Amino acid sequence: MGSRWLLLILFSLTTSALLAQSPPPAPAEPTVQSLLDRIQQLENRLNQLEDRERKHEAVQVGAAAAPAPAETTQQAAVMTPAPPPPAPPPSHTQEHASMGEIRDTERRFPSLQIRGFGDVDFSATDKKGSISGFNLGQLVLHLASPLSDKVSYFGEVSFTAQPSTYDLSVERSIIRYDYNDYFKLSFGKYHTPIGYWNAAFHHGAWLQTTIARPEMVQFGGTFIPTHFVGIEAEGNIPSGGLGLGYNVGLGNGRSSILSKSGDSGDSNDNRSWVANLYARPTRFYGLQVGASVYRDKLTPQPGQNFAEWITAADIVWTKEKPEFLAEYANVHHRDVATSNTWDSQAFYVQLAYRLPWQQSKWKPYYRYEYIHKPEDDPTLVNVLDLTGSTLGVRYDITNYAAFKGEYRNSRHGVNEPRVNGAFFQTAFTF
């Protein structure tokens, strides 16, 4: 009987030792989409390698005696494969493929990347006189091109549907010189780094959770200057785990049409400036807290001058479980001639949560926003008081397209009736 037990224990231990040497199990079962992506990538790689092999053979036949041109950089020297022997063994073929892969990852300058964004919308409200229906959102092209290890260009153009034509607009055009992480200098047209949203989300509704931007940072709005033409320095501030960063800019400020920046020149002889300081504490990955100051002199009409001070603060949690965005801005105007002053305030709070089911495709959200402006402020004439709520859900159809549906309840202006509306959007990038 004792020998039977001994046999059992020996069997268990032997089996354990054998299994310990067996290969590890496959990782968790991948999704079908990721497998398809992987197959697509491998097919692309195979095609590239076959093309390269064909070209290589053609070159060998056509110019067998010609010496290879000398590589000028160390990196290129490392990456240049030795000419293969007439009948390469399998191991050499494999090495050749690896060298090809290395060449593929070489940085080339310039290397233009273009990404497009588009959206199609439907809206219906119970506002008197409003017309429900579809509309084509902005078609946006983002351009990014490194020009060297330290110089990059970024651009953004938009096409916006108008009743009789399309408006083409240069939204951003920036050339940036990186000295290091602490100092990056750029010139061009930016989204003004006031608060969080305006510098984090650009044209292209797919980038943002909701259908529309908060009204305080609405493109074409006048509450804050959304664009800025000039020079900007940005970077990290050595601060350990606090993760401080900054943006400081000097530019033309608002043009005489307050919703526009002075692309073609300033409307007065006064430069605007902006400073933004933020913290991304390493201890709380996803948290960002920031504060901004903006100073300008407005000249909406010749002879009319207003000093403008904008102060803003924001706190965001960018991870999606949950996503929390909140920002506040105060716009102070002072008539230079009379010293009359006006202060307008706006804020929004947005909460969203990426649900864990169905491959995390659903993301419900809610936003409350508020704007108050003194009725007699002569500068923000197109800004109305606002209290409004938005309740919606975003469904990510694929990695690059989303469907959004929203219900909005808002009141624009003082003593105006509340308006209910249903809004739908499909937004995508390509």
Partner 1 sequence: MTTHWKFASRIFALSCLCLALLPLSAQRHDVDIAVVVHPDAPVSNLSLSDVRKVFLGDRQYWSTNIPVVLLIRAPVARERDVVLKIIYQMSESQFKQYWIAKIFRAEAATAPKVVYSNDMANQLVTAIPGAIAFIDSKDVKPGSTVVRVDGRLPGEAGYPLR
Side chain identity, residue 40: Q
Residue 87 makes contact with partner 1 by CB under 8 A: no
Structure tokens belonging to residue 324 = 């929390």
Of residues 345-374, those binding partner 1 (CB under 8 A):
354, 359-360
Of residues 256-275, those binding partner 1 (CB under 8 A):
none
* Dist. CA 72–CA 129, nearest whole Å: 69
The C-alpha angle with vertex 190 and arms to 228 and 368, in degrees rounded to 5, equals 85
Stretch of residues binding partner 1 (CB under 8 A), selected from 22-30, 51-59, 365-373, 405-413: 22-30
Of residues 283-302, those binding partner 1 (CB under 8 A):
283, 285
Residue 230 makes contact with partner 1 by CB under 8 A: no
Residue 251 makes contact with partner 1 by CB under 8 A: no
Q: How many residues does the chain have?
A: 430
For the CB of residue 167, give the shortest distance to partner 1 in the complex, in Å: 21
Distances (CA, A) of 359 to 30, 158, 384: 12, 32, 41
Residue 98 makes contact with partner 1 by CB under 8 A: yes
Residue 47 makes contact with partner 1 by CB under 8 A: no
Structure tokens belonging to residue 169 = 């607009």
* Closer Cβ to partner 1, 151 or 349, answer by number: 151
Residue 2 makes contact with partner 1 by CB under 8 A: no
Stretch of residues binding partner 1 (CB under 8 A), selected from 19-27, 130-138, 259-267, 335-343: 19-27
For the CB of residue 149, give the shortest distance to partner 1 in the complex, in Å: 5
141's torsion region: left (phi>0), alpha (psi -120 to 50) or beta?
A: beta
Residue from 46, 58, 78, 168 touching partner 1 (CB under 8 A): that is: 78
Residue 75 makes contact with partner 1 by CB under 8 A: yes
Side chain identity, residue 27: P
Residue 233 makes contact with partner 1 by CB under 8 A: no
* Closer Cβ to partner 1, 107 or 128, answer by number: 107
Residue 108 makes contact with partner 1 by CB under 8 A: no
C-alpha dihedral sign at 190, 194, 198, 200: positive
* Closer Cβ to partner 1, 78 or 257, answer by number: 78
Rg over CA atoms, the chain: 29
Stretch of residues binding partner 1 (CB under 8 A), selected from 85-93, 152-160, 326-334, 384-392: 152-160
Residue from 218, 236, 341, 345 touching partner 1 (CB under 8 A): that is: 236
Site string for partner 1, 162-201 (x = CB under 8 A): ----------x-x-x-xxxx----x------------xx-
* Closer Cβ to partner 1, 24 or 62, answer by number: 24
Using the structure block, give the residue that is written with the tokens 């292209």: 204
Supply the DSSP string of 131-200, one letter for each residue. Answer: --EEEE--EEEEEEEE-SSSEEEEEEEEEEE-SSSEEEEEEEEEEEEEEETTEEEEEEEEE--STTHHHH
Neighbours of 270 (CB within 10 A): 15
Stretch of residues binding partner 1 (CB under 8 A), selected from 40-48, 56-64, 211-219, 254-262: 40-48
Helix (H, G, I), strand (E, B) or coil at 18: helix
Residue from 102, 157, 293, 419 touching partner 1 (CB under 8 A): that is: 102
* Dist. CA 160–CA 138, nearest whole Å: 5
Residue 52 makes contact with partner 1 by CB under 8 A: no
CB 394 within 8 A of CB 417: no
Residue 377 makes contact with partner 1 by CB under 8 A: no
Residue from 8, 46, 68, 112 touching partner 1 (CB under 8 A): that is: 8
For the CB of residue 16, give the shortest distance to partner 1 in the complex, in Å: 5
For the CB of residue 327, give the shortest distance to partner 1 in the complex, in Å: 17
* Dist. CA 57–CA 42, nearest whole Å: 22
* Closer Cβ to partner 1, 400 or 407, answer by number: 400
Residue from 241, 322, 374, 417 touching partner 1 (CB under 8 A): that is: 241
- Listed in sequence order, the residues at least 6 apart from 361 whose beta carbon sits closer than 8 Å to its beta carbon are 395, 396, 397
* Closer Cβ to partner 1, 386 or 427, answer by number: 427
The residues facing 427 across adjacent strands are: 119, 402
CB 393 within 8 A of CB 421: no
* Dist. CA 406–CA 324, nearest whole Å: 18
Of residues 395-424, those binding partner 1 (CB under 8 A):
396, 399-400
Of residues 131-150, those binding partner 1 (CB under 8 A):
142, 144-146, 149-150
* Dist. CA 193–CA 228, nearest whole Å: 9
* Closer Cβ to partner 1, 309 or 353, answer by number: 353
Could you tell me which of 352, 337, 428, 429 has the C-alpha nearest to residue 390? 352
